[in-house]
Amino acid sequence: MNKHEPELIHTEAYSVLVERTSRRKTASIKVDEGEVIIIVPKLLQQDKIDKILVDKRSWIVEKLALYQATSPATIREYVSGESLPYLGRNYRLKVLTGDLTPTKLLNGRITVTVPEPSTQSHYVRRALVKWYKRHADKKIREKVWRYESLVGVETGVVRTKEFKSRWGSCTPYGDLEFNWVIVMAPNRVVDYVVVHELCHLIHHDHSPQFWKEVERVMPDYKEHKDWLREYGHGLSI
């Protein structure tokens, strides 16, 4: 197996993603949003991994059942033809069968390749999340670099992460964090979120002076602020 290719173990009830790492001396299993992942030492033999999975089968089944019972209903089925937003455009999802490979935007379609698409929608979702995070990191950094001179500030570390109820945050030291989900919004809305956080490096509150600064850089900011308030809760993968 190629060292960059994800390793999968298939059972009758579920599939397991194997993550090998030189930083671990023992194995651990987690069920993350319906996906079973076993993290093992880099050189652990396959038969030992299989034994761990057999021993933990009841626990895994219980966790998967709990996830299915408590997870909110999703509007996505993760099948070919579904529409996925990215920076103001909608792209069709194309799901192919094969070894796990990096997700790509090709010919106007976001193409995901997974072993068994009909029974492993969580792998499609996982691949899409990785794709969005990767592109969010690149696009948001580009926007920060473009707007920081217009705002008149210098930034420190710029990173993307997942927030539960906010689109971004900043520190007095110039470090900025953005919710990667924002790249599912229209392009100018993403610009607004970037400008908003950059202006917080000047005014650390939402005072009239803060909003005047935002308006100076982005005169039409209210339109994008209103879009985010009305539709932002629907941005999800």
Predicted confidence (pLDDT) per residue in 145-182, tens digit: 999 999 999 998 999 988 877 899 988 788 999 999 99
Collect all residues with Cβ–Cβ distance below 8 Å to 234 and sequence separation of at least 6. Answer: none
pTM for the full predicted model: 0.70
**Tokens describing residue 56:** 């933990």
Per CATH, the number for 132-234 is: 3.30.2010.10
* Range in 2-11, 17-26, 100-109 with the lowest mean pLDDT: 2-11
Give me the pLDDT at residue 63, please: 82
Q: Which of 17-26, 53-62, 175-184 has the highest mean pLDDT?
A: 175-184
Could you tell me which residues come within 8 angstroms of residue 63 by beta carbon, excluding any fewer than 6 positions away? 31
The string of DSSP codes covering 130-167 is HHHHHHHHHHHHHHHHHHHHHHT-----EEEE--SS-S
- Sequence ranges of the domains in the chain: 7-70, 83-129, 132-234
Round to whole Å and give the CA distance between 155 and 136.
18
In the sheet with 101-106, reading across from the earlier edge strand, the strands are 83-86, 89-97, 109-114, 101-106
pLDDT of residue 106: 85
Confidence grade of residue 68 (pLDDT, cut at 50, 70, 90)? low
**pLDDT over 70 at 72, yes or no:** no
Q: Would you say the C-alpha torsion 214, 164, 154, 186 has a positive or negative sign?
A: negative
Closest by CA to 199, choosing from 182, 180, 174, 229, is 174
